Structure 1
Amino acid sequence: MLAAERRDFLLTRLHADGKLVAKDIAVELGIAEDSIRRDLRELAAAGLCQRVYGGALPVSPAAADYATRTTVATSSKQRVAAAAAALIRPGSTVLLDGGTTALAVTAALPDDLAVTIVTHSVTVAAALVDHPAAEVLLIGGRLFKHSAVTCGAAAAEAAGQVRADLFLLGVTGVHHEAGLTTGDADEAAMKRTLARQAADTYVLASSEKIGTASPFTVLPVTSVSGIITDAPDDNPVIAELLNRGTTIIKAR
């Protein structure tokens, strides 16, 4: 099998199985595992897979630029946002992450819900300008344009002064082995900082993020209170998460 044929085979198998295990593919094809790892490196460099220990996972479509992400899985994000908004109690303080699903949460908040929203997302803050009952605190810092959020030392220091009841966390990948991932190291660090400031952290995970991975780990799944998703229970990643005791809040 030529190298190009192997790469086509790997992509087909990745799409069918949702993951690749290098040693298993090497045995199946009767070639050296190093050859498979080299193929995976080339596919990852082309943005066609995300390498993880022992193999590869699909790349998350949520890793695209902000404008593109506003058009991806919009109905799925709205379902997740509605389920997330239902977790917010009157009078509570909520840390709301950036991203398009978090933006959808702002639209799902009832007009009469008195709540304090703390966010490092300029788009989330702007969307709440006309909310009649929400107090909005915007965390300043260096603007990370890919997600329209602030990051860096100033943002982390300001976030460290917050004590929240709930953090609604946005990620680009959710996987039982790779964990909760995103595409930028500084953004991942900021998300961890925000998670430390909340009593409970729930992940906003529209279905296209389930079973995918991005380069930087935010948190292991065991570090969050639960995952809000509209992915079906028979999704193999959801089934494994449930088997491991992860709380899954179904978005209908």
Structure 2
Amino acid sequence: MLAAERREHLLGLLARTGKIVAKDVAADLGISEDSVRRDLRDLAAEGLCQRVYGGALPASPAVVDYDARQAVAPDGKRKVASVAAALVQPGGSVILDGGTTALAVARALPKDLACTVITHSPTIATALTDHPLAELFLLGGRVFKHSAVTCGAAAVEAAQNISADLCLLGVTGVHPEAGLTTGDAEEAAMKRALSARAADTYILASGEKIGTASPYRVLPWEKITGLITDAEAHDTVVEQLKTLGVEVLAA
């Protein structure tokens, strides 16, 4: 089989089954595992898969830059945001992550809602300046421009001195095996720091993120309260998550 044919085979397998196991592909095609791993490295370099131990998973489309992400699944993000915004209670406090889905949540909050919003995103804070009854706390640190949020030691330290009823957290990948993932190590650490300061953590995940993975794990499933997604209720991955005990809120 030619390299181009192997590539198409691997991409087709990824689309059909949601994962690639290198040793199984090697046995099926009668080639070495090294050849499969080389093909996966090439596909990963093009952003077409996320390599994991023993093979590969679908790559998240949500790792492009902030401006480009605003055009990805806007309807799905609005649906997720509507459900998430309803979780913020009058007089309550919420830690709101950065990113385009979190921005949709900020826009979905009623303007007459009296609450406290803590965020490490200047974009989120700006979006809420016209909410007269919302108290805003902006956590400082080094700005990670890819997601328009603060990260790094200063931001993590600031997060350790706050607490809230609720944390609404964005990720780029949601996968039963890979878990909740994102594309930057420091951003993943910041998300963990934010989640640790809330009584409940819900993950914001529009449908295009379901079944995909990024390089850095954010949280294990047992550390979250639930997942908010507009993916179909009978989606194979959603059903797998439910069998793991994950509460799924349909958007």
> Are residues 1:152 and 2:159 paired?
no
Q: How far did residue 211 of structure 1 move? A: 0.4
Distance in 2 of aligned mates of 1:152 and 1:11? 36
Amino acid in structure 1 at the alignment position of 2:116: T
Residue 193 of structure 1 corresponds to which residue in structure 2? 193
Residue 179 of structure 1 corresponds to which residue in structure 2? 179
Distance in 2 of aligned mates of 1:222 and 1:9? 35
Instruction: Indicate the SS of the match to 2:137.
Output: strand
Instruction: Indicate the SS of the match to 1:113.
Output: coil
* Superimposed CA distance per residue, residues 92-137 of structure 1 (whole angstroms, 9 cap, x where no aligned partner): 1110000000000011111221110000001100000101211110
Instruction: Indicate the SS of the match to 2:150.
Output: strand
Worse-matched range after superposition: 30-39 or 84-93? 30-39
Distance in 1 of aligned mates of 2:90 and 2:41? 49
Residue 122 of structure 1 corresponds to which residue in structure 2? 122
* Superimposed CA distance per residue, residues 175-207 of structure 1 (whole angstroms, 9 cap, x where no aligned partner): 011010000110000001111111111000000
- RMSD between aligned residues: 1.0
Distance in 2 of aligned mates of 1:51 and 1:244? 23
Instruction: Indicate the SS of the match to 2:83.
Output: helix
Distance in 1 of aligned mates of 2:37 and 2:111? 53
Residue 221 of structure 1 corresponds to which residue in structure 2? 221
* Superimposed CA distance per residue, residues 221-244 of structure 1 (whole angstroms, 9 cap, x where no aligned partner): 221111000101221111100111
* Superimposed CA distance per residue, residues 38-58 of structure 1 (whole angstroms, 9 cap, x where no aligned partner): 211121122211011221111
Q: How far did residue 16 of structure 1 move? A: 2.3
Worse-matched range after superposition: 34-43 or 80-89? 34-43
Which consecutive unaligned segments of at least 5 residues does structure 1 have?
none
Amino acid in structure 1 at the alignment position of 2:40: L
Residue 5 of structure 2 corresponds to which residue in structure 1? 5
Q: How far did residue 17 of structure 1 move? A: 2.1
Worse-matched range after superposition: 104-113 or 201-210? 104-113
Which consecutive unaligned segments of at least 5 residues does structure 2 have?
none
Distance in 1 of aligned mates of 2:41 and 2:139? 38
Residue 41 of structure 2 corresponds to which residue in structure 1? 41
Residue 74 of structure 1 corresponds to which residue in structure 2? 74
Instruction: Indicate the SS of the match to 1:228.
Output: strand
Residue 62 of structure 2 corresponds to which residue in structure 1? 62
How many residues are treated as equivalent by the alignment?
251
Instruction: Indicate the SS of the match to 2:131.
Output: coil
Instruction: Indicate the SS of the match to 1:202.
Output: strand
TM-score scaled by length of structure 2: 0.98
Distance in 2 of aligned mates of 1:24 and 1:239? 25
Distance in 1 of aligned mates of 2:5 and 2:45? 17
> Are residues 1:20 and 2:20 paired?
yes
Distance in 2 of aligned mates of 1:163 and 1:132? 22
Q: How far did residue 34 of structure 1 move? A: 2.2
**Are the equivalent residues in 1 in contact too, given 2:111–2:130 (CA < 8 A)?**
no
* Superimposed CA distance per residue, residues 142-191 of structure 1 (whole angstroms, 9 cap, x where no aligned partner): 00000000001111111100011110000000001101000011000000
Distance in 2 of aligned mates of 1:153 and 1:31? 46
Distance in 2 of aligned mates of 1:134 and 1:216? 33
Residue 235 of structure 2 corresponds to which residue in structure 1? 235
Worse-matched range after superposition: 20-29 or 221-230? 20-29
Residue 112 of structure 2 corresponds to which residue in structure 1? 112
Distance in 2 of aligned mates of 1:69 and 1:113? 28
Amino acid in structure 1 at the alignment position of 2:25: I
* Superimposed CA distance per residue, residues 71-98 of structure 1 (whole angstroms, 9 cap, x where no aligned partner): 1100000000000011111111110000
Amino acid in structure 1 at the alignment position of 2:154: A
Which 4+ runs in 1 deviate beyond 6 A? none
